[in-house]
Chains A and B, each alone.
Chain A
C-alpha cells in the first residue's frame, strides 16, 4: 500500500519559533509537494521538488523554505512562525513526468496552530 506520511497530525507552536514539518513517501517518487489548505481558499502550492536538493517556489513561498536531502523525505520549514501561518499543511508526491499522467498521493495533513 502506497503511503505518504507526515510526521505530526497536530502541532502547536509559539510565534517566532522555527518549525519543521516532515514528509516521507515510500513509493520512490521523484516529485514532492507542500500545500497549505485554508477554508475558502482550497489548496495553495508552497514549494515543490523534482529531485534531491532541487526545489521550486510555488504560489505562496513567502515565510517558508524547504529541504530535500533524500529522495523520500521533503521537509517544510517555517523560519519564524507567525499566526497567519496557522493552517492545514498537506504533503503530496508523484512519479516523474507530466503530473497529468500520474496520480498525486497525499499525506493526512498536519494541522499547525501558531499562538
Chain B
C-alpha cells in the first residue's frame, strides 16, 4: 500500500538557521509529491509540488524540495528559517488517483 513517512515529529531550530524536513514514500512508481504547511488555526496551504522533470523544485516562502528516486525521498529545505515559519508541515503523495495521502506531519518550532 502507498504510504508516506515523516520520521521527525518535532524539530526546533534557531531563527536564521537552515532547515531540512524529511519525507519518504512507498510506492511502485514515481508519484506526484507535495509539501503543505499548516499555520496555527489555519487550513493547509500548498508550498510546492513535484510532477516530473527537474528534481529540485522551488516553492513559496523560500522553500525548496529535492526528489531523490533512489532514496524514495522528497525532503523540504530552507536555507534560513524565519520565526513566521513555525508551523506544521505535511508531506503528501498522489499515486495515480484523485486522492492525496498525507504523512503524519512535522511540527517546526523556531527560537529567536
Chain A interface residues (CB < 8 Å from chain B): 4, 31, 33, 35, 40-45, 48, 50, 58, 90, 92, 94, 96-101, 103-104, 106-109
Contact = CB atoms under 8 A, between A and B. Distances in A.
B43 A99 contact: no
A40 B100 contact: no
A82 to B, nearest CB: 23
Give the dominant DSSP class at B's interface: loop
Contacts of B90: 42-43
Interface size class of B (residues with CB under 8 A): 20 to 34
Interface string B21-45: 0000000000110000000011111
A41 B11 CA distance: 17
B46 A99 contact: no
A48 to B, nearest CB: 7
Which of A4, A50, A92, A106 is the most central at the interface, judged by chain B CB atoms within 10 Å of its CB? A106
B44 A90 contact: yes
Interface of B: 6, 9, 31-32, 41-46, 49, 51, 90, 94, 96-105
B9 A40 contact: yes
A53 to B, nearest CB: 17
Given A48-B98, A108-B43, 9 more contacts: A33-B99, A40-B104, A42-B104, A42-B105, A43-B44, A48-B99, A99-B100, A100-B94, A108-B41
A54 to B, nearest CB: 11
A105 B104 CA distance: 19
B43 A58 contact: no
18 contacts: A40-B9, A42-B6, A43-B102, A45-B101, A90-B43, A92-B44, A98-B32, A98-B94, A98-B98, A99-B98, A99-B99, A100-B49, A100-B51, A100-B94, A101-B32, A104-B46, A106-B43, A108-B41
